[in-house]
Structure 1
Amino acid sequence: FGGGCSVYCAAGYDLQGPSLELLCDGSPALAATDGFVSRKKGTISSVEVTCVGIACSAGVPMMLGVVHDCDGKVTGQTCTVQKDVGFAYVSGGATTFTCGADGAFSGTLPVVAPLQCPEPSFGAGVVHTCTGRTIDTTCWAYCGAGFTGNFKEYACLADGGDSAALSAVAGEVSCTASLRRLTSARRLSGDCDASETSAGLTSVGIAHDCLGKSQGEVCLAYCADGYNRIGDPTMFVCSGGAFQAQTVQGLPTCIANPCTFSPPSGIGVSHDCAGVATAGTCTAGCGAGYEHAASSGPQAFSCQANGEFSGTNPSCEALACDALDLTAEYRHDACAGKATGQTCLVDCANGWLLNGSASVLACSTSGAFTGNTPTCLPQTCST
């Protein structure tokens, strides 16, 4: 009896306004309400603290092929993660994520796969690189040996339903038989694979369909998946045992695209993956105020051609804050053992009166508590 206590917000919630200060009163009239009265008013008081959920920022589902409505969700709220247009469920269906009190979402990602475009049929004389193309990738169709016409780019696009189809980016390919056609014997008389490197076909970002071509056959060099193209693809012909470029401008310039899907994430995780592009690597570890959990350590991530990072998130544990060293008028036992990101309440010890409201302190990444202490006035003795 005579002791005071404070009512404030649990982990995952922000206190809006003052905390509630209660006093344990031994009056028989208060037995039905467990004896608690407002320390300020001296009357029976209900819990009047206003707590607002904190928005989750870690563990947001950013995997390629899924969409969600998790933005802005706060502690205790849920959201739905489901397949994006152009993707199909491998098994199961949409899943539910929950925003936890630690500021991270928890849940199981749905298993999805990109739709694949069917094998195209372009007609006589057309050679293509479109086999096995998946959603949002491109390919090329061009005229083979003995045919003339311009190469054309095609994109594998969703048709609005559960299938995909190839669509010409800028006009359909059209090939016309040449007046002079090479004989089969001549086409099979040479092999140019050994010149792949000297022809520049192994350059970073370059893809081609030249291997296996024989004397007189043509092939195309273009930018691989995960690279943005500047300039046109380059036609080559297998001639005299070497691949010969058919244009003077040379190979296209291929610029790696940055990855945006599935970056490292988690409570306490830090990384240097921002801006890392196709074939690039980066490292994820534990930031200030955190340490790697046992059997865990820094993890390597790599940027894949589909724009998604590949790697395993490190496991990080919050470090405990330094013990508070406050004078006798403060009660701060709630702060013992608090770790990075956690909060606690500091109010007045017995024999001291709170002037205003109790203070919420936060354990910062530096290992020190931040926030202001409350104002405590000495209580006047009546006897």
Structure 2
Amino acid sequence: ETFTCTATGEFQGTAPACEPSPCATLGLDSSDGYSHDCSGNVNGDSCIVACADGFSAPNGTSAAAILECGASGYTGSMPTCEPTPCSSVSLPTGLDLEVNCTGLTTGESCMVSCAQGYSGAAANFTCTSLGDFSGQRPICTPQTCDDLVQGLLEGVTHDCSGVRFGSKCGTSCAAGHSLAANSALTELHCLWDAAVGQVTLQGASPVCEPDPCVDNFPSGESFQHDCAGVTTTGVCTVQCAPGYEGSSPQNLSCAASGVLEGDTPNCTARTCAARHLPGMQQGICQDLSFGDSCFTTCEDGYDASSGVQQWTCDLLPGGGGSVELQGSDPDCQPLPCLDNSPVSAQFQDNCAGVTTGSSCDVVCTSDYVGSPSNLTCGADRAFYGSLPVCQPRSDFPVPEVEDANVSNMSNATLIQEEEFVLNLTDFVLNLTDTIEVRGLLSLNVTDAEAFMNDPEALAALKDGLAAAIKVNPAYLTVTVSLTPFTVGNANSRRLASESSALYISYTVIMKKSEAAGLEANPPSATAFEAAISAAIVSKGGSLASKYSVSVMSATVFSISVVDDGNQFSGGGGGAVPDPWSCPPPPPAADAADIGMDGPAVWGAGIDPGWASLEDRSAAAAEWRTHVALERK
């Protein structure tokens, strides 16, 4: 600015506006190894320049310095910052890797690749400011050696298919060859072959010699040959022996399996005509040639009391060259049927003593109605056919409902149990020792009455029970009862039954060996529930959406053995006695105290023993299905 000296002796003018000049920005950043706060400084300001992360000052020097911003820029000594070396500890390791990252410092990079004998893409690793390496480990897989092995001798094979680098495999003699006396089996190794730049199988070869053929030599009086001593890949000749006629000589070759392969000449001998007898197994003694023999046996379901007989195709006496089967005839007698006899209170039959190939009739008893059927005794000594579908007679008397403990129930109604008896079985067992297992279940079912009247739902119920018990549904008899109750006043015994409850009684006929497992480990309520639910779902359609089933209780009550008409009963799995049979009476001194009066005393919490199935009262039903309070 200009100032003028006036007449008054004073300068006149405007003073200039002066500001401190800024210093130029330092051209330094972390990649140069520095960090600073010198941005925007002006004349007279100071700032600090230090070594950035990943950089450090040499020993004995400072890692930071103060710079002054002057008229000509920054003044001061910059610190010396050197990149920090990275530790190799953070690098990946392994025999499958090739790592060349030694001596790298902050910001420098290297490649980690797969080692020789391995395949995979290389990966980049960078030395970070933290002093470690950052990168993704390569995925390296061992290379596979080619199956072709150079230098193996004839007759030598190996199991080296798919062998990978670093692995080994063994040699062996090929089929039809054996190891030579002075040789030994060797191992082949899948190794890197620098000459070809890939992995190869490497190792010595054993010596294997061909084996002599041992099987399928031409046999019989119709042939003669020179095949003795022929070895693998060798050839011999076979021709018809004297006394037989046929085609020209044929060559046979010794295969690696030790079997002579090829067609023998067609040398024809006389053939015996077949003999057919009642009950004798057919197809055994047909097309026998002169000199051949066979053993006659009876068909299944027949017994040869005279034992097996040998027949021989031999010359007829008197000469002439004719032949016939000669030998004693087997005495084949039909055997009585043993299995699948109709065993049920619903049936009566005339099947006792029926033998193989014969039939018997099965009809419903007087308490049931249904069409008769016919069973046939098969060769396996089991009856086959469909059993009658027997339904209870409509005029069959049903006991009245009783419950001595519900005398004061106001507005309480006990509805007579409705019963639906499933089609019992298609087949049941009738063995010398018959195992009969019985049990009860109580179910909670969505719309129980509809379920009980739904044939498809009942079929699923039966399939589920059979699956839980692990038996064929054909051997299972199921009875379903629907018993809705109305709860009385507070002074009456509470009834656990509801309109959604179904009561299931089942009987299964099975073998002793099968019943033993059931007795030792009877299915739980959970197992029954899972099996029944799965059977409902397997039926498909809308059945699964209509019904939801939960099992409240399940008990195998009885396992009974029928042996020559004498029945012995015991608790299933050692749990509870048989509810179908009366328990032995208690000692006289205790009988009065226990009070064996049946349902009349159940409300008082006294355990009277097992109720008869003839008792159809609400209390008895609850006791049998394990929902009675006294059972808890």
Q: TM-score range by the shorter chain?
A: 0.3 to 0.5
Normalised by the length of structure 2, the TM-score is 0.26
Larger strand percent: 1
Work out which structure has the larger RCO, using CA pairs closer than 8 Å and 6 or more positions apart in sequence: 1
Larger helix percent: 2
Normalised by the length of structure 1, the TM-score is 0.40
Q: Work out which of the two has the higher radius of gyration on C-alpha atoms and give 1 or 2.
A: 2
